[in-house]
Amino acid sequence: MLLEVNDITVADEARALQARYGNLEPMDVIELSVDHLFNEEIAVVSSFGADSAVMLHMIAQVDRATPVLFLETGKHFPATLRYRDQLIAELGMTDVHDIHPLKQSLKDEDPFGALSMTNKDRCCYIRKVEPMARAVAPYRAWMTGRKQFQASTRTALPVFESVGARIRINPLAHWTSADLKAYMAEHDLPPHPLVAEGYRSIGCMPCTLPVKDGEDDRAGRWAGSDKTECGIHLTGLTDELSNISLTDSSL
């Protein structure tokens, strides 16, 4: 269904949703979003990272057929890919999509797979931002696992926010590290194997390091550079989505 509203209207909608539902518990946010607000026009984007099991478990309790979008950058730790397969099987998720970079983009701009060493922003654009835009384009809304405590750049993160003509939902925005650990223990969820090695935020292998005590959870991402986000949560995604129709379902 084509969303016949402009970006200003969607921004107003996101603010209204935040004001009314922004203080709900994560499970209630997920159930409301999946079963009532967006029905079959919502997906979840998961990195199958350090604490991804928490939100995926919640979603599985609501609807195991909720589309799960995984950005298969071609640069993940092998442990992440094994963990992805493990969670999918254990949680019974039935609609998981691996979203790949465009082959032509890799051929033209990263033929040797070393672009992350010379231009991290462009590497993230090719392997994450553009694929992410294609992945979420068919939906009116998508959910992420972002939390306020993860980094200083996320301290004001709302539960509901607008991204161009779409709504992005962060059900776990207000949860702490202790909340996540308690939930995983209560439901006996398997941890990502790299957490035991000091990785608290897990992205692509070339740009992810273990985190030291006292550092932000995301301090190991693009360590030694000024980069703090890959771009899928920044304005570049909005710009990319503006060129893609909401009805384009090509993944």
Residues 36-50: tens digit of each pLDDT: 999 889 999 999 998
141-184 confidence digits (pLDDT tens): 999 999 888 767 778 899 999 998 899 999 999 999 899 999 99
* Ranges 6-15, 53-62, 129-138, most confident: 53-62
Three-state SS at 178? helix
Q: Tell me the residue ranges of DSSP E strands in 191-241.
A: none
**pLDDT tier at 248, thresholds 50, 70, 90:** very low
Q: What's the topology of domain 10-241?
A: Rossmann fold (3.40.50)
| Active site annotation includes 76 | no
Cβ distance 99 to 132 under 8 Å?
yes
Distance CA 90, CA 179 (A): 22
Distance between CA 95 and CA 88 in Å, rounded? 9
Return binding residues for [4Fe-4S] cluster.
123-124, 204, 207
pLDDT at residue 203 tops 90: no
Per DSSP, helices labelled H in the chain are 7-21, 26-32, 52-62, 78-91, 103-109, 115-118, 120-124, 130-136, 177-186, 235-241
Q: Are 133 and 242 in contact (CB under 8 A)?
A: no
Among candidate residues 42, 54, 230, 237, the one labeled active-site is 230
State the binding site: 123-124, 204, 207
pLDDT at 249 over 50: no
Domain map (residue ranges) of the chain? 10-241
Cα gap 47→41, rounded to integer Å: 20
Q: Is the confidence at residue 94, as pLDDT, over 50?
A: yes
Full strand arrangement of the beta sheet holding 160-163: 96-99, 68-71, 42-45, 141-143, 166-169, 160-163
Split at pLDDT 50, 70, 90, the class of 2 is: very low
162: helix, strand or coil: strand
Residues near 167 by beta carbon (within 8 Å), at least 6 away in sequence: 10, 13, 14, 17, 38, 140, 141, 160, 161
Rounded mean pLDDT, 220-247 = 54
Dihedral sign for Cα 144, 147, 151, 153, please.
positive
